């Protein structure tokens, strides 16, 4: 922040301080209270409006109109300089943080996800890692402090197709963000925003394991299946989903994140090998399994989209046991929305006001 900007802020704070001291809200606290301006009179309202517009003062019970200060230089500068180190302790509750990464095209999915989390009373511990400045400002204008951008911002102005280089660049930043949060000493849950919470997932995070995750395979498991890392598949690795992860700030969890980062660096995206971040996450789990306490979450509570949306017999047999639904095994922005709507899981049409962001 420039010294000029700092001086401007100090001057503005000083002006507000002087105003609050010189013009007390209670008229009787002034010796000339009989001549004071009524807050509810025409002149008083004009004075209040001037304070709101010129100084950005919002009195208790008043709400500035949406977007009034969102585009101001002060607001833009503030959020551009907001760091992950500042954002994490602000958003975390009881040492735990829920994190997602979002670019502007996926703001409707973010809102849908937030509505479902709000219903479980966990929205206050959410931190949105914005992957473009439009998302950073859109979230913080409505929900101050709950979005942060870790520069440099990738090219995230379009909804990247699964398997594209843009999608790889977008998702490959994830383990770095998560590792940093762990290094700060916080438990962290990561979700993709094409998920919906039907129940509270935290009771399922039993014990003190390092890393909790879900299987991305569609084959039905017994209800009492093992919670160990599954055996490798045909490609020599497991098929764990990198879209729902919970970690404690342990050496084991940090080791998995570091190995994931190294694997992504060793296997970059190319036209010949249009990879994403998930295979690298699985290789990291497989290589560190002997050193890390891993825990596979129950399939019935955390089913992959290839099971939940395509096996209605299983869904009916396990009704009431589902916790988080992932809308994967399908590509395309509109297709995902349609499937959510078809299953009654697209909440933003009727319940947007339940989100901390309201209608966006």
DSSP string of 94-149? TTEEEEEEE-GGGHHHHHHHHHHHHTTT-GGGEEEEESSHHHHHHHHHHSTTSEEE
Check if the beta carbon of residue 57 is closer than 8 Å to that of residue 16: yes
Average of pLDDT values for 265-275? 62
For residue 49, is it within any domain? no
Domain coverage including residue 307: 75-354
* Structural domain includes residue 210: yes
Segment 344-352 shows an average pLDDT of 97
In a domain, 237, yes or no: yes
CATH number for the domain harbouring residue 170: 3.90.550.10
Q: Exposed, middle or buried, 70 (CB in 10 Å: 0-12/13-18/19+)?
A: middle
pLDDT 10s digits, 210-259: 999 999 999 999 999 999 999 998 888 999 999 999 999 999 999 999 99
In a domain, 278, yes or no: yes
Q: Which of 102-106, 195-199, 247-251, 295-299 has the lowest mean pLDDT?
A: 102-106
- In the chain the first and final C-alpha atoms are separated, in Å, by 30
Q: What is the pLDDT of residue 17?
A: 37
Number of domains making up the chain = 1
Confidence (pTM) = 0.76
Domain assignment present for residue 194? The answer is: yes
SS3 of 299, please? coil
In a domain, 61, yes or no: no
* Tally: H helices and E strands in the chain: 14, 9
The model's confidence at residue 161, banded by pLDDT at 50, 70 and 90, is low
Is 350 a member of any domain?
yes
Cα torsion 58, 62, 67, 71 to 10°: value is 0
On whether residue 241 sits in a domain, the answer given is yes
């Amino acid at each position: 922040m420039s010294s000029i900007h700092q001086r401007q802020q100090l001057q503005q704070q000083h002006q507000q301080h002087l105003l609050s001291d010189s013009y007390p809200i209670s008229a009787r606290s002034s010796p000339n209270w009989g001549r004071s301006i009524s807050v509810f009179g025409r002149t008083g309202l004009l004075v209040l409006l001037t304070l709101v517009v010129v100084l950005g003062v919002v009195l208790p019970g008043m709400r500035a109109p949406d977007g009034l200060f969102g585009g101001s230089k002060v607001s833009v500068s503030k959020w551009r300089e907001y760091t992950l180190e500042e954002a994490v302790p602000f958003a975390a509750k009881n040492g735990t943080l829920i994190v997602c990464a979002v670019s502007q095209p996926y703001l409707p999915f973010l809102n849908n996800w937030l509505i479902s989390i709000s219903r479980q009373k966990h929205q206050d511990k959410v931190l949105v890692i914005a992957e473009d400045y439009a998302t950073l400002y859109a979230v913080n204008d409505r929900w101050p402090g709950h979005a942060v951008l870790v520069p440099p911002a990738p090219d995230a102005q379009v909804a990247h197709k699964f398997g594209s280089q843009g999608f790889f660049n977008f998702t490959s930043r994830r383990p770095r963000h998560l590792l940093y949060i762990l290094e700060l000493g916080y438990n962290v849950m990561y979700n993709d925003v094409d998920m919906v919470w039907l129940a509270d997932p935290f009771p399922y995070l039993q014990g003190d394991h390092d890393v909790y995750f879900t299987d991305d395979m569609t084959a039905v498991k017994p209800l009492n299946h093992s919670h160990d890392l599954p055996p490798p598949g045909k490609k020599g690795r497991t098929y764990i989903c990198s879209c729902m992860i919970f970690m404690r700030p342990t050496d084991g969890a940090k080791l998995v994140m570091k190995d994931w980062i190294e694997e992504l660096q060793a296997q970059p995206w190319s036209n010949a090998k249009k990879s994403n971040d998930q295979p690298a996450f699985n290789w990291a789990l497989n290589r560190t399994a002997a050193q890390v306490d891993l825990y596979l979450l129950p399939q019935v509570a955390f089913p992959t989209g290839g099971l939940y949306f395509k096996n209605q017999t299983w869904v009916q047999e396990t009704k009431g046991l589902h916790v988080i639904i992932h809308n994967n095994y399908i590509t395309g922005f509109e297709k995902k929305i349609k499937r959510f709507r078809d299953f009654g899981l697209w909440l933003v049409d009727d319940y947007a006001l339940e989100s901390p962001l309201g209608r966006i």
